[in-house]
């Protein structure tokens, strides 16, 4: 699916490492994603990373990724592993899990 401006709808999957649990990171990621019009989720993982999945226009997903790497997040991000794919749909809103 593409938008009228040619901005493809994509799925961003990001695994965020560092001190990102227990510092408000998921709430922060949710707020930024909603501001950008993205749907998805932010979930704590057992290995202390946070999984962020976001779907929407590629330009908005890229902005979210830039924010995740920006150094302005709660806590401290040491690494962000990224996977891009086609949007699968089925996501509504943005959940903290």
pLDDT in tens, 1-53: 434 444 899 999 999 999 999 999 999 999 999 999 999 999 999 999 999 99
96: which 2 tokens?
């903290």
What is the model's pLDDT at position 3?
41
The SS3 call for residue 17 is strand
Containing H/E element for 30? helix 25-35
More confident of the two residues 92 and 30: 30
At residue 91 the predicted structure's pLDDT band, cuts being 50, 70 and 90, is confident
Phi, psi angles (nearest 5°) of residue 34: -65, -40
Please tell me which residue in 11, 26, 32, 49 is annotated as part of the active site.
Answer: 26
Please tell me which residue in 3, 11, 19, 44 is annotated as part of the active site.
Answer: 44
The question of whether 44 is a catalytic residue gets the answer yes
The question of whether 5 is a catalytic residue gets the answer no
């Amino acid at each position: 699916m593409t938008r009228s401006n040619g901005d493809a709808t994509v799925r961003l999957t990001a695994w965020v490492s560092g001190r990102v649990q227990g510092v408000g990171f998921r709430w922060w990621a949710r707020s930024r994603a909603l501001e950008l019009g993205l749907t998805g989720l932010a979930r704590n993982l057992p290995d202390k990373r946070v999984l962020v999945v976001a779907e929407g226009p590629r330009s908005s997903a890229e902005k979210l990724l830039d924010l995740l790497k920006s150094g302005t997040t709660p806590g401290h991000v040491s690494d962000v592993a990224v996977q891009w794919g086609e949007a699968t749909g089925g996501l509504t809103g943005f959940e903290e899990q």
